[in-house]
Amino acid sequence: MAQADLMDFDKALELYEPVLGFEVHVELNTATKMFCSCANEFGQGANTNTCPTCLGLPGGLPQVNRKAIESSIRLGLALDCTIAESSRFARKNYFYPDTAKNFQTSQYDEPIAFDGALTIELAGGRQVRVEIERAHMEEDAGKLTHKGGATGRIQGADYSLVDYNRGGVPLVEIVTRMIEGGEADSPEIARTYVAAIREIVKALGVSNARMEEGNVRCDANVSLRPRGSQILGTRTETKNVNSLRSVERAVRHEIQRQAALLAAGGTITQETRHWHEDTGTTSAGRPKSDADDYRYFPEPDLVPVAPSREWVEELRSTLPEPPAARRKRLQGDWGFADLEFQDVVNSDLLDAVEGTVAAGASAQSARKWWTGEIARLANAAGTPAESLVAPAQVAALITLIDDGTLTDRLARQVLEGVIAGEGTPAEVVDKRGLAVVSDDGALVAAIDEALAAQPDVLAKIRDGKVQAAGAVIGAVMKAMRGQADAARVRELVLERAGSAQ
Amino acid sequence: MPEITAEQVAHLAHLARIDLSPQEIARLTADLGQIVDSVAKVSEVATPDVPATSHPVPLANVFRDDVVTPSLTVEQALSGAPERDGDKFRVPAILDED
Amino acid sequence: MTDLIHLSAATLAGLLADGSVSSVEATRAHLDHIDAVDTDVHAFLHVATDAALAAAAAIDARRAGGESLAPLAGVPIAIKDVLATADMPSTAGSRILEGWIPPYDATVVRKLREAGLVPLGKTNMDEFAMGSSTEHSAYGPTRNPWDLGRIPGGSGGGSAAAVSAFEAPLALGSDTGGSIRQPAAVTGSVGVKPTYGGVSRYGAIALASSLDQVGPVSRSVLDAAMLHDVIGGHDPLDATSLPDIWPSMTEAARAGLADGALRGVKVGVIKELNGDGFQSGVKQRFDEALAILAGAGAEISEVSAPNFEYAVSAYYLILPAEASSNLARFDSVRFGMRVNPGSGPLTSERVMAATRDAGFGPEVKRRIILGTYALSAGYYDAYYGSAQKVRTLIQRDFDAAFSKVDVLVSPSAPTTAFKFGEKLADPMAMYLNDITTIPANLAGVPGMGLPIGLAPEDGLPVGLQVMAPARQDARLYTFGAALEKLLEAKWGHTLLSEAPPLTPTEMFATKEGAV
Ligand SMILES: [Mg+2]
Ligand SMILES: [Zn+2]
């Protein structure tokens, strides 16, 4: 694809004011789909989780998942939205092979949640209030695979295959109002906003929130308005940007691309655009046109959702502490420096450290182990750190270090054993015989032997040259194959040297 | 009452994905004009103060528990497919994604 | 032996229960009669001979094993082709679904099987239930057993013809704007549209979701009631299904057979459904029925429903709108027909459009285009939105009427059975045929059609429609059974016993599709 001309970012900002908007789709982690009792999981064989309803067979009818409604209300509340007294599903009519009924059941003029806001904090400390227009419920489409052609993309494919396992999976679509005044921070706002949504749905437990698996997907709207103008520019909608980094890059790219086009006297086409991770560019998709007539009307197969205020309040009482507030509290509690804390947050280890501290470890030790050795092993294994070992086990490990049973070096071996499934840290210590040798008798024998073998050193120690003890300590540690506490060895060496006659 | 034109019927046919012949479009343009003339009288009494009824016997909050029940087998799911490829439905090339 | 087919379902059920007749005998008798007459009548699109006999034998075996079975166990039944059946093609009368065998049963079909009824096959209908004559079936029309040159009504002409031609004692129908009650009227049979939500729609191929109801088709009010008890009740698979505990319709019908059942019953005659445009013989029989009711102690009064004049218009906006969306799934991807365009590139979009062009008949296309128009941007408020408001006004008319009377009555249809082709060229004329039955669907109230005599001018059946408030279906059965008993006492026989015999030797000249 031809590389579009881009304007320098700073130059673009001099000439134009970016206006942003986001539509984030969150896939809920309910057990079943939105409108049928098929399992909400689609890693299995194609078309295994389908029924007359989600396959759109003649005669199929939808039944609303209560848990999905609850999750949506909780998400709405977490976004400070008003929960509708009465909301309704509608049909959005359009033909597409991944949409089994050829309409998407979605909420239109009566969303379950509306008029919310979320304040995000940029790295430099700037606070940006993002207003939420609505959060509405809808269903996901099936999955298409394009065959033939060179790229595996839809363009140039000979035919396509459809798997409806994902069809009918519950989604909440969160729509912001226009975000103005983002200026040069706009790309970072995009990234931070999506990260904040991700963090919230994860804290609520309503979504698995893995962007790489499409649990959270962002459509980014960008338009530019010339400095001094009140008139909004034409916007483009970059669809399905599926990582935080890409969201940031896509917004930056659209600002630079649109600026170049406008400055050259061109016009922006209102269209959807596709994001290409590999090239870091967007390309034109389908133009929005008058032909987009979705013929929305209330879904006649479903009845209104009218959550009682009691139910809403009950759900409100289940909300977790807002992630931003929680971060502030934890950093204070733990006394971490900004960099230390950022390290934990960026590694997605807040829960892990918190759990480890709750299980009795000191915050610094917990941080050190999680962001150090455990993160290294997780990285090597290509899995999230939290999936390797439970916080309680890490806390137990730290306790063994603190009480002198293990040295750091031994603790690393114990950790490997725990990860390998050999049991709790205490059990691994037992099985592998890794404990620090604390039997002074064995140490004393080794020390006496070492002192006898190095009479010159002994003499020096007796002369008060304490640093000479290092040679004996080294020999003893070697003899004990590292399974001794160096501090204790030093103590005993000095003691034995004093009493050796 | 807006006059129904053949272009309009052709556009509706495209929205509804029906490949109508020019003769069908001509006939439907006439039919539609007649029918719409007749049914448009609903607006005579549909004043702003009258609420709409979408369900004749009102219900609200009809929910299902979030419990999995058995799905169709793959063979059942694909039993009516005009064309399949393995366990997936096969369709001709798609012009562009939505 | 031949008499088995002329028995009411209730009587046949009694003989089955006491062992004097086996289900296999009863089923075979009906299959034989279908064999003999259905070439002419064409009530069936599919006859499940082997499966029916096997199901009957299984019921006989269970009965022989001492199992206590449901009241209608072993009784044969015909099923409108709009219902999904896992062992029979389900086409909804459309070419686009030719040969499609669903991987599941509709809830009502499951209930039939669980109650031990024996499905004989699938009955003909206007394509996707769009029509009042069964002339819009892709598989050729069904003929009225009273006069093979006339329509059996629609869309459930096949079910009505099947029971009135004695091919089945019972049938299932579906009623969106009269598709059970109007065919009942023109074939001299009984049909009931239950309260919206009273019977599950799961597995009923949708025409207009907010109007469709599945209901019983039979030759007597009691038989309809017994079938209603089998298919009715809450279904969690249909979100619009009412969670009510329903009274026994069978008991309600039996109550109507008791002396004095009509005494003091307030009967409202709907002024707007009893005027011009009704055939004279229809009016005459209707007035006679009112006199009989009055004679039995019912209090007859006239009530006005001023907004009913907007009902047909509202209906022909709501129905096509919902249908245009419901029928979008027929796209050649997961089931049904696929047709490639004659020329040009082979894309999904073009294959869908070519398939829908080839697979849908003219009436279906007409309504899809009309519905697409009614929902499209800029027209929604004027058309669909306004039509939904008319619904409110019609409900208010019903509420006002039912505050004064117990039941409302009208002729079931403006005319007796018309001839094939008579209204095909004029869609609006065809649509106006449903003027009497549509209001009940718009308001969700239950309605029953039952025969009240033959029009003197053409000797064809005339029906009376009775309607009750939502959820008061039982009232229809008590009223209907009482009126039926009085009429049959007056005639000395059932109306259908006057129908001309259909003989196996009779060869009807018109070939399928030639009308
Ligand atoms: Mg959406
Ligand atoms: Zn499903």
DSSP secondary structure, A365-398, as one string: HHHHHIIIIIHHHHHHHTS-GGGTS-HHHHHHHH
Q: Which of A45, A94, A160 faces B74 most closely, judged by CB atoms?
A: A45
CB contacts of A91 in chain C (<8 Å) are 325
Model pLDDT, residue C1: 45
Average pLDDT over residues A71-78: 98
Output the CA C334–ligand 2 centroid distance in Å.
14
Sign of CA dihedral A121, A122, A125, A129: negative
Average pLDDT over residues C4-15: 98
**Residues 6 or more apart whose Cβ sits within 8 Å of residue A336:** A344, A363, A367
Res. A499: pLDDT tops 60: no
CB contacts of A304 in chain C (<8 Å) are none
- The distance of A85 to chain B (nearest Cα, Å) reads 11
**Residues 6 or more apart whose Cβ sits within 8 Å of residue A419:** A377, A388, A389
Is C376 annotated as catalytic?
no
Backbone torsion region of residue C280, taken as left when φ is above 0, otherwise alpha when ψ lies between -120 and 50, otherwise beta:
alpha
Q: B19, B71, B79: which to substitute to probe chain A, counting the most A Cβ within 10 Å?
A: B71
Q: What percent of chain C has pLDDT over 70?
A: 97
**C444-476 burial: b if 16+ Cβ within 10 Å, else e:** bbbbbbbbbbbbeebebbbbbbbbbbbbbbbbb
Is C80 annotated as catalytic?
yes
Q: Coil, helix or strand for C173?
A: strand
Average pLDDT over residues A385-409: 90
Question: What residue in A sits closest to B11 (Cα-Cα)?
Answer: A291
Output the CA A171–ligand 1 centroid distance in Å.
9
Average pLDDT over residues C63-84: 98
In chain C, the number of structural domains is 1
CB contacts of A94 in chain B (<8 Å) are 98
**Complete domains list, chain B, with CATH:** 6-45 (1.10.20)
In a domain, C72, yes or no: yes
In a domain, C118, yes or no: yes
pLDDT grade for A464, boundaries at 50, 70 and 90: confident
Q: C171 lies in which domain range?
A: 4-256+265-309+391-513
In a domain, C335, yes or no: no
Contact C389 B83 (CB under 8 A): no
Is C179 annotated as catalytic?
yes
Phi, psi for C167 (deg, rounded to 5) = -85, -20
Among A79, A62, A75, A61, smallest CA distance to A29 is for: A75
CB contacts of C342 in chain B (<8 Å) are none
Q: Which of C202, C349, C375 faces A59 most closely, judged by CB atoms?
A: C202
Res. A482: pLDDT tops 80: no
Model pLDDT, residue A233: 92
Among A194-203, A304-313, A367-376, A408-417, the minimum mean pLDDT is found in A408-417
Res. C424: pLDDT tops 50: yes
Average pLDDT over residues C241-253: 98
CB contacts of A66 in chain B (<8 Å) are 63-66
Q: What is the mean pLDDT of chain C?
A: 95
Res. C514: pLDDT tops 50: no
Contact B41 C313 (CB under 8 A): yes
Res. C131: pLDDT tops 60: yes
Return the residue matching tokens 């049979």.
C189
Q: Coil, helix or strand for C178?
A: coil
* Exposure on the CB side of residue B77, measured as CA atoms within 13 A: 27
Q: Coil, helix or strand for A65?
A: strand
Among A213, A190, A208, smallest CA distance to A198 is for: A208
Q: Which of C237, C329, C377 faces A56 most closely, judged by CB atoms?
A: C329
Average pLDDT over residues A6-13: 96
pLDDT grade for C364, boundaries at 50, 70 and 90: very high
Output the CA C36–ligand 2 centroid distance in Å.
43
Max intra-chain CA distance, chain B: 56
Show the tokens assigned to A315: 């759900």
Model pLDDT, residue C510: 44
Model pLDDT, residue A5: 87
Q: Are strands A143-147 and A159-163 parallel, antiparallel or unpaired?
A: antiparallel
Average pLDDT over residues A132-146: 97
Q: What percent of chain A has pLDDT over 70?
A: 97
Q: What is the mean pLDDT of chain A?
A: 91
Return the residue matching tokens 């218009």.
C313
* Exposure on the CB side of residue C56, measured as CA atoms within 13 A: 25
In a domain, C47, yes or no: yes
Per annotation, catalytic residue among C8, C22, C23, C80: C80
Residue ranges of the domains in chain A? 3-314, 323-432, 440-499
Among A423, A19, A75, smallest CA distance to A230 is for: A19
Give the integer Cα–Cα distance in Å for C202 and C233: 12
In a domain, C376, yes or no: no
Give the integer Cα–Cα distance in Å for C27 and C170: 12
Express each pLDDT in A143-156 by its tens digit. Answer: 999 998 766 777 78
Res. C2: pLDDT tops 60: no
Q: Which of B56, B62, B81 faces C239 most closely, judged by CB atoms?
A: B62
The CATH code for residues A440-499 is 1.10.10
Q: Are strands A297-298 and A281-287 parallel, antiparallel or unpaired?
A: unpaired
Q: Coil, helix or strand for A69?
A: helix
Model pLDDT, residue B98: 47
Contact B91 A160 (CB under 8 A): yes
Q: C105, C205, C334, C349: which to substitute to probe chain A, counting the most A Cβ within 10 Å?
A: C334
Phi, psi for C486 (deg, rounded to 5) = -65, -45
- Angle at C201 (CA atoms; ends C197, C205), nearest 5 degrees: 145
Instruction: Give all strands (DSSP E) within A40-185, no chain letters.
Output: 64-65, 82-83, 90-93, 103-106, 113-121, 127-139, 143-147, 159-163, 170-176
Interface predicted TM-score (ipTM):
0.96
Model pLDDT, residue C244: 96
Contact C213, C198 (CB under 8 A): yes
Contact C310 B42 (CB under 8 A): yes
Contact A234, A272 (CB under 8 A): no
Res. B47: pLDDT tops 70: yes
CATH assignment at residue C211: 3.90.1300.10
Q: Are strands B88-92 and A159-163 parallel, antiparallel or unpaired?
A: antiparallel
**Shortest-distance ligand to the CA of residue A33:** 2
DSSP secondary structure, C440-480, as one string: HHHHT--EEEEEEEE-TTT--EEEEEEE--TT-HHHHHHHH
In chain C, positions 382-411, which contact chain B (CB-CB < 8 Å)?
A: 382-383, 385-393, 395
Average pLDDT over residues C483-500: 97
Q: What percent of chain C has pLDDT over 90?
A: 92
In a domain, C183, yes or no: yes
Model pLDDT, residue A4: 57
